[in-house]
Structure 1
């Protein structure tokens, strides 16, 4: 049985990706969540409604010991399972001006985005190399491409993930594994719910926020067999927001 794992898959863009992959592929969807089990189960229901199948799996992506323990246990209970797709989507924001930023806000944002990428991808990468196939998608952000004031921590985390994407892509390309980054701009989700949409739209040439489903469509394409020659790329999906 072939699987796609989506970290932070219980809500927002993560949920939309889980549902889209269920519609467009034959992968069983492994929905990772950290604390909101109810939301993860809702995503699983949506996956089933979309004609797919899957399961939820709880771990904190930034905790290497927990990631290894939970995924090792899952692998031993699912000996036939092959994870072909990793979508590193888990991330948080702790916005604030750098001069007043507590170290904890810096660490938490960096650890979830960057250590999360390392912990989950590193767990599966050797099997992918052995199987000579894989699709790794790192969810970054317009903040990681151009930098956003008030988000020095988030911009640093996502910018580092851009660099990691380009390097890893070159290491594993010979084994038919692609590694790409998707950089959304303003997308309508819980995370952007507190933002002043009316004000921010002025900075978006497309004159609207994007939808999570639009990001999911792009991820689904990159996961598919049609995208085998695209690797090491950062694909912006932001309605024209560039520095």
Structure 2
């Protein structure tokens, strides 16, 4: 469960939203920033979003990864290879996306509380840890050298990465009186059913194209479907099923913590 010191960061009322564009992958990514700006202006309730990419596979990268002529050339090459590049507003390195990936975003207003990025990462990761545990999986957070988009707040199952996380803070304190009302966008990319050997090869090819020595190792990661299959042999698990399961879990989870939850799609 969410620890008491983190509960103070949770708004008393949230929107739990599964809204997504079924055709436009770029639009799906940009919705996080668009809705978060509305949250900062108080035009939208603080939002927890559980969403899937449009059914096209590719890589999501930061703006830094594709800066300059080499980045533009690499994007064209990856597009020809059938792995188009999409750019996200948060930092970090490349992550796979597509129909086998589920995304989890916290879109919250900036507050006066003295708070660290670590606290928001914990607020993001704890529900996933508890969800995985409820499935009979052994889940933790931590860095895994050699994994894609590595960081201290990867979510791991049996020591292998299943979830990558990223975070962005924008503007100042939220509210209608602020000239640039701010928000916190904390995001998780849950690999539900992806061939990580292939995805790793593609990530490495991308960084080769941009002239970056960064490389990842496929043995450091797994998918949620593969992890579940070890505890429930013969189990199949799709991102669509995971989305339904996780939304049901989150609705109970947040309400049990005393938070009002409004489910929308």
TM-score by length of 1: 0.31
Which has more radius of gyration? 2
TM-score by length of 2: 0.29
Task: Name the one with the larger strand percent.
Answer: 2
Task: Name the one with the larger helix percent.
Answer: 1
